[in-house]
Copies of this chain bind each other. A is one copy, B any other.
Amino acid sequence: MNKITMSVGSGGASTRSFVSDIIFSRLGNEILNKASDSAILDVSSKTAFTTDSYVVRPEFFPGGDIGKISICGTVNDLLVSGAVPKYLSFGLIVPEGYLVSDLERILDSMAAECRKAGVKVVCGDTKVVEKGAVDGLIINTSGIGDAVYNYTDVSNIKEGDAVIITSDIARHGMSVMLARGELGFEGEILSDCACLLDIFESIAGMNVKFARDATRGGVAAVLNEIASDCGLGFLMKESDIPIHENVGYLCDMLGFDPLAVANEGLAVIIVEQGEAEAVLEKIKNCESGKRASVCGIVEGKNVVLETAIGGKRHIEMPSGELLPRIC
């Protein structure tokens, strides 16, 4: 089979052979391979549960693809909640005629990322729709993890706490933008798409007050969400916010605020001021945290940026269209 046919989604014989030949051979394990209506799992009595759908275009971009992002994104949502990721589900929507080789490449990415993140895919579903009914692959992954720490309670946040950003900002959004080839010039930016397991393992047990990954809407959205939920503001120092030179240049040129551009391997972590340097050191020792930085403080009621030249401006909640289909 070179291309996906409608019969793969029929629930009949072709579905069964597709699932066993294409899916189980890559994502299979003793739970998934049972192919029951539900997976039966041993879990912690406090469990974290999250879901995300992925519609990124192009499906392949420098540093990742829709399969990698579908695992990292959901795993990261569990990690920033203070959970240890354990089990994932996947739901594939595939158009008729989709290249099996592309699907296999994407499933291979998913499998590789699952191994890195230490998670098992335990249940799944594949729907095939007519050619043209969707413009490519769509993936949903939901995830379950043991809720060990509590990084989701904004009431833990206090004036004076430090803000750590775990990587340089805006790489994913700019990578995808450039990969679309619509800008009229060449070049490549590597997406930051990555699973943050190493970072969250390394800071487990430290005094982390709150964490959130900065995907759609970027760091600006996360800071504004937190501020609106806890009633406290932030003072961020532009010169301390890590950004790759090329990314900053591209954002400038296109008129994007890099703070509002999507990331896929970056968390905003709020810690007690006194522990900020110790947490930062742990993070910087991690593969996905090399460019981490303490770059802000919880202060006042507004979300404010102290610019590199010493001025101050509000960091607004992003509004309008931003970059569509970034994840």
Q: Footprint of B on A, CB under 8 Å?
A: 5-7, 9-16, 34-55, 76-78, 80-81, 83, 87, 89-93, 122-125, 127-130, 132-135, 138, 140, 142-145, 147, 150, 152, 212-213, 215-218, 221, 225, 260, 262, 317-322, 324-325
A49 contacts across to B, CB distance below 8 A: 38-39, 41, 87, 89, 122-123, 144
Q: Are B46 and A45 in contact (CB under 8 A)?
A: no
B10 touches A322 (CB 8 A): yes
A12 to chain B, nearest CB (A): 4
Q: List 23 A-B contacts (CB under 8 A).
A: A6-B324, A7-B319, A9-B324, A10-B318, A10-B319, A11-B215, A13-B319, A36-B81, A37-B213, A38-B49, A38-B78, A41-B46, A42-B46, A47-B144, A49-B122, A49-B144, A50-B89, A53-B91, A91-B91, A93-B93, A127-B325, A140-B140, A140-B142
In the complex, what residues of B have CB within 8 A of residue A34's CB? 152
Contact A142 B142 (CB under 8 A): yes
Residues of the B chain whose Cβ atoms lie less than 8 Å from the Cβ of A324:
6, 9-10, 128-130
Task: Tell me whether B53 and A93 are in contact (CB under 8 A).
Answer: yes
Contact residues in B for A138 (Cβ distance below 8 Å): 93, 134, 138
Q: Are B50 and A12 in contact (CB under 8 A)?
A: no
Tell me if A's interface is mostly helix, strand, loop or mixed.
Answer: mixed
A93 touches B55 (CB 8 A): yes
Interchain CB contact under 8 A, A133 and B130: no
Complex partner residue of A51 from B35, B77, B125, B317, CB under 8 angstroms: B125
Cross-chain contact B216 with A140 (CB below 8 angstroms): no
On chain B, the residues within 8 Å of A90 by CB distance are: 51
| B320 with A16: CB separation less than 8 A | no
Using Cβ atoms and an 8 Å threshold, which residues of chain B touch A216? Answer: 9-12, 15
